[in-house]
Amino acid sequence: MDKQTITIYDVAREANVSMATVSRVVNGNPNVKPATRQRVLKVIEELDYRPNAVARGLASKKTTTVGVIIPDVTNIYFSSLARGIDDVATMYKYNIILANSDESGQKEVQVLNNLLAKQVDGLIYMGHTLSDEVRAKFSRSKTPVVLAGTIDPDAQVGSVNIDYREASKFVVDKLIKDGNQKIAFISGSLSYPINSQYRLQGYKDALKANQLPYDESLVFETDYSYKAGEALWSQLTAAGATAAYVIDDELAVGVMNGMLDHGIKVPDEFQLITSNNTILTDIVRPKMTSISQPLYDIGAVAMRLLTKMMNKEEIEEKTILLPYDMVERGSTKG
Amino acid sequence: MDKQTITIYDVAREANVSMATVSRVVNGNPNVKPATRQRVLKVIEELDYRPNAVARGLASKKTTTVGVIIPDVTNIYFSSLARGIDDVATMYKYNIILANSDESGQKEVQVLNNLLAKQVDGLIYMGHTLSDEVRAKFSRSKTPVVLAGTIDPDAQVGSVNIDYREASKFVVDKLIKDGNQKIAFISGSLSYPINSQYRLQGYKDALKANQLPYDESLVFETDYSYKAGEALWSQLTAAGATAAYVIDDELAVGVMNGMLDHGIKVPDEFQLITSNNTILTDIVRPKMTSISQPLYDIGAVAMRLLTKMMNKEEIEEKTILLPYDMVERGSTKG
DNA sequence: AAGTTTCATAAAAACGCTTGCATTTTTGGT
DNA sequence: ACCAAAAATGCAAGCGTTTTTATGAAACTT
């Protein structure tokens, strides 16, 4: 049907110029006489020439492709970030290679090697934690890296987040102001710094600010799943908790439904604030009060930061904190 | 820190062999004396050599990368497919370039050109419809294409789906058997063949099989959003519908919540079956009865089919239908 | 022992483009 | 008109692989 391989050489021949000139017009180099440019463009059109990005990448050492490491695309939190990333990438003429890591260190390393072999111009990493091995690879490689929605305690690479500690303090504070004394902290693994060093600290900050004791039996470490949340109701009631701050929406829905299914009224007998303001918060009844994180923007800003790095522009601040907010819905009162 | 660029040539020099031999060991070509292979592998290890995939791509005309066109990653339906795609891709050593299209014809064409320029070895397309322009590009290009969860009436390229018509008939039939006479069909745009030619037909099939009249005022064409569903309650009650078959989960949740918020009891006064069995169906109260599509598998099988095509293997059947099922939950009775 | 095969390896030509440098053409000042 | 400076273009050397072809060495044949 078509033999396809129209090369820059074919265009050059037809247009009676050298490959170099064709290359210049394709790349928008201004040093081409307008008349010549027209002629070349016409031939390109006629021949339906499309530059081979692989050859271009080899010659220029730029692939206009960035690698994106994501724990799981089906997770709304991360896919929202990914959407922001892709939109900005497209805006700046980059493509993204998306790779699921399942948060597995081994898979991450493998994926990373792969991405570097493909000569991506930059990397965006998402995950709850950053293993030492991955971190080491990052600092050893000269490929720019930005973390999106992910904390690097060392702040070696770029990152975009909200102030998790402050946000946590803020919502727990609200729960206290609303009259709760025993507030559960429900999170994923506390081995993730983002949970233990930021959110849990924020929780403690709020307790302290209100002269409430920190009670370890109110801290629940589980995994980010609906089922896990659903199962928590008995422990919560046993601990005497009248409210909870949950750090993942799916988990939060599980907790809430678990309570409701066992006759505990929300928000009358139990109040709850979650963290990501995904569509889930709006879909359940009662609707859930949540911290609202600018997920799309975190992704978008991360990608924007990365473009600057890839472009070797001056970066004023590579650790970016975006503003957050809280939206009150039916799972809290007042 | 590191000058990074260890090339095959460096390895060859250190190991005292030619580049060709290094290439052979890297690519697992058997024509290498074991002793030589060991020596080369050792040097590769020492130098931490990593083959440059771009150069490899240029020389071999294979990029081990496939393009994936997706309407929107944040949509659980599509991200589930994408997850299946990526897992199988990884299994076969491919990477995926993920590009959001927003179902916009213009964006799709642009993305497609981009992907082809990047010399992807294959393409997976997802979307509700296939524009003529895109279809034309597919058939003109020699790059293999598979549609995932997407219908091509011409069946020119590979595709993986469930039998939407049959599934629709099946659930509407159940609704009728449960005593409903006036069943609404709530879908996205009927300009999409998947809706008009398959699901709506299945709906009609069921009516006919049960000697019920087809009433156009029970067909609701809207967009796939929660809000759109929420707004539908008044029209539904006005039309006298006592049940609905909804073709998107988010839309269905909207419909159900809209009903509930206006005092209509589900399932007592209104029953509802949705189509994708995503987590939403399990999270709402009452839980929603749904067709269960093997979303992950559709993506996985699509990718597997694509690997065969890229490998020029014999394909027995390129239009694949996967089995579906129905899971009964609280939004229907009995 | 000479002639065939096979194996293992090397040499070098692609692959399709970018880019620094050299060269030619155009422009503008006088 | 003439020359220097500026603009436009061409040349050719990469970029880091794969792959074809050629060659040398080892292993059989008879």
Query: Which nucleotide lies at the shortest CA–C1' distance from A60?
Result: C18
pLDDT at A1 over 70: no
What is the pairing mode between strands A271-274 and B219-221? Answer: unpaired
* Closest CB from A68, A82, A283 relative to B280: A283
pLDDT for B12: 92
The reply to whether B89 falls in a domain is yes
Give the dihedral sign, CA B219/B224/B228/B234: positive
* Residue A51 Cβ < 7 Å to strand C: yes
How does residue A156 score in pLDDT terms, banded at 50, 70 and 90?
Answer: confident
A111 to A211, A236, A299, B290: CA distances (angstroms): 47, 39, 20, 36
pLDDT, tens digit, 9 for 90 and up, residues A39-79: 999 999 999 999 999 999 999 999 999 999 999 999 999 99
Residue B43 has which token pair?
A: 């040097």
In 3D space, the residue among B280, B245, B222 whose CA is nearest the CA of residue B168 turns out to be B245
On whether residue B196 sits in a domain, the answer given is: yes
- Cis ω for the linkage preceding A267 (within 30 of 0): yes
Q: What confidence tens digit (pLDDT) does each residue in B100-156 have?
A: 999 999 999 999 999 999 999 999 999 988 999 999 999 999 999 999 999 988 888
Which residue, A15, A34, A60, sits at the end of a domain? A60
Identify whether A237 is part of a domain: yes
**Are residue B155 and residue B231 in the same domain, yes or no?**
no
Nearest CB among B4, B83, B97 relative to A74 is that of B83
State pLDDT tens for residues B43-89. Answer: 999 999 999 999 999 999 999 999 999 999 999 999 999 999 999 99
Say what percent of chain B tops pLDDT 70: 99
Using the CB atom, is residue B52 less than 7 Å from strand D?
Answer: yes
C-alpha B313/C-alpha B306 separation (Å) is 10
Tens-digit pLDDT profile for residues A179-227: 999 999 999 999 988 888 899 999 999 999 999 999 999 999 998 999 9
Structural domain contains residue B274? yes
Measured between CB atoms, which of B96, B114, B280 is closest to A98?
B96
**Mean pLDDT within A125-142:** 92
Q: Do residues B287 and B169 both lie within one domain? A: yes
Whether the beta carbon of B20 falls within 7 A of nucleic chain C: the reply is: yes
Does residue A330 lie in a domain region?
Answer: no
Would you state the pLDDT for residue B3?
Answer: 45
DSSP B290: E
CA B296 to CA B80: how far, in whole Å?
Answer: 5
Instruction: Say whether A226 and B80 touch across the interface (CB within 8 A).
Output: no
Q: Tell me which of A26, A41, A60 is where a domain ends.
A: A60
**CATH code where residue B217 lies:** 3.40.50.2300
Which is it for strands A145-148 and A122-125: parallel, antiparallel or unpaired? parallel
Report if residue A265 sits inside a domain.
Answer: yes
* Domain boundaries, position A174: 164-292
AA letter at A302: A
* Distance, CA of A137 to CA of A131 (rounded, Å): 10
Contact A266, A260 (CB under 8 A): yes
User: Is some CB atom of chain A closer than 8 A to the CB atom of B191?
Assistant: no
Neighbouring C-beta atoms of residue A314, cutoff 10 Å: 5
Instruction: Report which residue type is found at B149.
Output: G
Q: Is there a contact between B118 and A54 if contact means CB atoms under 8 Å apart?
A: yes
> Would you say residue B167 has pLDDT above 70?
yes
Token pair for B227? 């809000």
Q: In which band, very low, low, confident or very high, does the pLDDT at A4 lie, cut at 50, 70 and 90?
A: low
Kindly state the helix (H) or strand (E) to which residue B68 belongs, with its residue range. Answer: strand B65-70
Task: Please tell me the predicted confidence (pLDDT) of residue B119.
Answer: 97
Q: Inter-chain contact B97–A99, Cβ cutoff 8 Å?
A: no
- The sheet carrying B271-274 orders its strands as B219-221, B183-187, B243-246, B271-274, B289-292, B325-327
Number of domains in chain A: 3
Assigned domain for B333 exists = no
* Same domain as A124, residue A105: yes
Residues A149 and A295: beta-carbon distance below 8 Å? yes
Look at residue B284 and give its three-state secondary structure.
Answer: coil
Q: Do A142 and B2 touch (CB under 8 A)?
A: yes
**Percent of chain B residues past pLDDT 90, beyond the cut:** 86
CA distances to A44, A208, A232, B43 from B22, rounded to whole Å, are: 39, 64, 57, 10
SS3 A65: strand
Query: How many CB atoms lie under 10 A from the CB of residue A58?
Result: 19
Phi, psi of B32 (to 5 degrees): -140, 130
Separation CA B210–CA B208 (nearest Å):
5
Task: Report the mean per-residue pLDDT for chain A.
Answer: 94
* Dist. CA B15–CA B9, nearest whole Å: 10
Note whether B150 and B105 are same-domain residues.
yes
Residues A264 and A214 in one domain: yes
Q: What pLDDT, on the 0 to 100 scale, is given for residue A126?
A: 97
Measure A297 CA to D17 C1' (Å).
39
Of A2-6, B25-29, B187-191, B329-333, the range with the lowest mean pLDDT is A2-6
**What pairing do the DSSP bridges indicate for beta strands A325-327 and A289-292?**
antiparallel
Q: Is the CB of B20 under 7 A from strand D?
A: yes
A304 in the same domain as A284: no
A227 and A172 both lie in a single domain: yes
Query: Average of pLDDT values for B266-281?
Result: 94
End-of-domain residue from the set B13, B36, B60? B60
Give yes or no: residues B54 and B118 share one domain. Answer: no
Residue B183: beta bridge partners?
A: B243
Q: Beta carbon of A58 within 7 Å of strand C?
A: yes
Question: In the prediction, which pLDDT does A280 show?
Answer: 92
Q: Which residues of B touch A90 (CB under 8 A)?
A: 99-100
Which of A100, A271, A208, A140 lies closest to B83, judged by CA? Answer: A100
What is the DSSP track for A187-256? Answer: ES-TTSHIIIIIIHHHHHHHHHHTT----GGGEEE--SSHHHHHTTHHHHHHTT-SEEEES-HHHHHHHH
Can you give the distance from the CA of residue B17 to the C1' of nucleotide D24 in angstroms?
Answer: 14
Q: A179 with A275, same domain?
A: yes
A33 and A174 fall within a common domain: no
Residues 45-74 of B with CB under 7 A from strand C: 55, 58-59, 61
CA distances from A153 to A148, A275, B190 (A): 14, 21, 51
Strand order in the sheet with A271-274: A219-221, A183-187, A243-246, A271-274, A289-292, A325-327
Tell whether omega for the bond before A286 is within 30 degrees of 0, i.e. cis. yes
Query: Which bases on strand D have an atom closer than 7 Å to a protein beta carbon?
Result: 7-12, 14-20
**Same structural domain for residues A185 and A284?**
yes
| Residue A153, both tokens | 């305690």
Task: Tell me which chain A residue has its CA closest to the CA of residue B70.
Answer: A83
pLDDT at B125: 98
| A332 domain residue, yes or no | no
pLDDT at residue A155, as a whole number: 84
**Residue indicated by tokens 């999270």:** B283
Measured CA to C1', the nucleotide nearest A59 is: D15
* Nearest residue: Cα versus C1' of D16: B55
Query: Are the C-beta atoms of A259 and A285 separated by less than 8 Å?
Result: no
- Going by pLDDT thresholds of 50, 70 and 90, the confidence category of residue B4 is low
Claim to verify: residue B177 and residue B158 sit in the same structural domain: no
Chain B residues 252-291 within an 8 A CB cutoff of chain A: 253, 257, 260, 279-280, 282-285
